[in-house]
Structure 1
Amino acid sequence: MNPTRRTFIAGTTALLGAAALPGRAAAATGPIPDGARVPVLVIGTGYGGSVAALRLAQAGVEVHLVEMGMAWDTPGSDGKIFCNTREPDYRSYWLRTRTKAPLNYFLGFPIDRDIPRYTGILDAEEFSGITVYQGRGVGGGSLVNGGMAVTPKRENFAAVLPSVDPAEMYGVYYPRANAELGVGLIDPAWFDSTACYQYARVGRKHAQRSGFPFVFVPDVYDWDYMKQEAAGTATQSALAGEILYGNNHGKKSL
């Protein structure tokens, strides 16, 4: 977690202006009244929304942020903020009575299970031939994306955003975002030796035998923390099966 940014976007809806800057008094938080007119309204507190709001506030502009979901900062009855992927409960899905995991079956057995209806952290919107997963809460997709932080391939950039200068994006903004988020890669030597990645190593071997490339995905998980998890010196999060419904430790969310 990045405390500065989390503090900045704290609250389901928040009024954030110059007071949100370092050294100033904390900004007010609370609901936006019906029919209210505000200087700037940012919808969503994911990566794009939080950065836009941050830069506007740094420029002295009063900003309101609106998010679908809650600020995930209050532990449940089990003492944890987020539930485990293997044992989903009411915190797992947004207004669903049954989970909808990206993988429905494992070894022939169904994975999905009934859950209490609640404003949980993961939304699964179904469209024709595709299900779109979204984070619901302050921090948006950063809450549920497993920490993956992949810079798009430059050769595909112009096809998606032809009016944007790719040189500036890849020379300035992507490096800046990666640095701010703390993006990193797993230590290859540790990957090759630790027990927790033994099955990934088997997958790599079979991929290479079949002529498929194998790459390490850039991530915002704290790899030093994961090494402590594997060594038994820190509370397990990723190695305990936390990913889809948030991580209680180790991952840096907005």
Structure 2
Amino acid sequence: MAARVRRLSRFNIVSLTLGLVFLYLPIVILVVFSFNASRLVTVWGGWSLRWYRELFNDSAMIEAAWMSLRVAATSASIATLLGTLAAVALSRGEGFKGRTLFSGMLYAPLVMPEVITGLSLLLLFVAINAERGFWTVTIAHTTLTMCFVAVVVQSRLGSLDKSLEEAAMDLGCSPPRAFLAVTRPLIVPAIVAGWMLAFTLSLDDLVIASFTTGPGAATLPIRIYSEVRLGVKPEINAICTLVIALIAVVIIVASLVAKLSSVKGESAAPL
């Protein structure tokens, strides 16, 4: 029986168009006005790269952007490793004692307000007399993003057939080798998606970073927020446009890696 092709109604098209406009029109306006020659961000003065040149001469803004990128990459990598291990423990260890407590502690940052998380981490760093800077922000962002990685990877593990690992072990593989040879290639897309989500959340965070950072270690959101309080400068449009471009490149690369890994995993899986 031939499948019916459902056509979009006029109402659905209008709703979809309005939704896309609502989501992406502000971003388009920001990108366009980053090339504005006028000093006033609301008055169009022609096309120019003036504010990009001004941005690259602003050492404080560039340093904050580099700080955010380093923190995001480091915390996302650590969170991906720990979150994947936690997801494997929850998916493959249904019977271990304390599973409910471990799961609740792991997923607590999902529902806990960021103000409480940031304040609790600040009190911890003060109690152990840790110098606040790059590593304190990285630890805080790892704490925040690890649970998101665990959710993504655990959902992927839950949809896999455990008999594949059991078959590998029947053929002589140890449990770790069976996991690495059979399961890991199948969950690589989820791991990549988790890393990308953790990277984006870290790059975007303002509240937790403001609690855990120190002098000379301001991230880009903190720097932008301090600048916006005195008025929106065209340089902010320029740096935001570059961040949007960076995120777009990360999404494209991650999608390609996930797709290639998925194809490789499917070809390696037994029929």
TM-score (norm 2): 0.21
Whichever of the two has the greater Rg, that structure is 2
TM-score, length of structure 1 as denominator length: 0.22
Q: Which has the higher helix share?
A: 2
Name the structure where strand makes up a greater proportion of residues. Answer: 1
